[in-house]
Amino acid sequence: MKPWYDIRDAAERRATIWLYDEIGENFWGEGFTAKQFVKDLAALDVDGIDLHINSPGGNVFDGQAIFNALRGHPATVTTYIDGLAASIASVVAMAGDRVLMASNALFMFHDPFGMVMGGAGEMRQFADVLDKIGDTIADVYIARTGAEPDAIRAGMAAETWLEAAEAKAQGFVDEVTDSVKVAAHFDLSRFHNAPPAALIQDTPDEPAEGSPDTAAEAIPKPRAWVFVPWVGFVSYPSKEV
């Protein structure tokens, strides 16, 4: 089993973290939970952390736990958005004391979503829970950008996709860097407003320099998405018929 993240110690008391896949444990129990990530992070006795992100998001609570752990670590964290920081991965990106975004990368934020079974009362209660979760996510963006809460919540409701220059103009990132080649592939059809350029990605010959081998592996395109009560998602890949 290969991890969806990789932590590497580097010289001069720095560590590099590659977060190049969906966040959280999948339906088959593969991958690493936030609990494992936080444990590994806590073991890093370094002064600086370089966090590289190329992820479509995943489980909200795993992402929030990772964000909080990064913010609480004594090291200075620099975030690099190498390809995609979507959904809860965009929240994790905000953990950086400084956030850099490649000129060919994408940033997306939206309202949380999930599914619950039950009567009208359960449905209304779950909607209230989603609103509260959305508020906690919005607080992260507001703290980073200084934007008005209503503007952030409107952007979340609309499922907003930003190019690097737009993300910088709105205060989500501090600096736009040169383009980066990445080789991870994600099916973004679960999202409402994903631009065609994000849905059809080129396949470069090599992943970003120094990134883990998992970055070079294509993620199987799912035929159906199942939204689960803990406000994340898992996929059931199936054969073409």
> Which residues carry out catalysis?
87, 110
Distance CA 109, CA 72 (A): 23
Q: What 8-state DSSP symbol labels residue 170?
A: T
Q: How far apart are CA 96 and CA 180, in angstroms?
A: 19
Q: Which two tokens mark 106?
A: 């994408």
Report CA-CA distances (Å) from 23 to 45, 115, 202, 208.
24, 18, 22, 19
- Is the four-CA dihedral 144, 147, 153, 154 of positive or negative sign? negative
- Identity at 69, one-letter amino acid code: A
In a 3-state reduction of DSSP, which class is residue 111?
coil
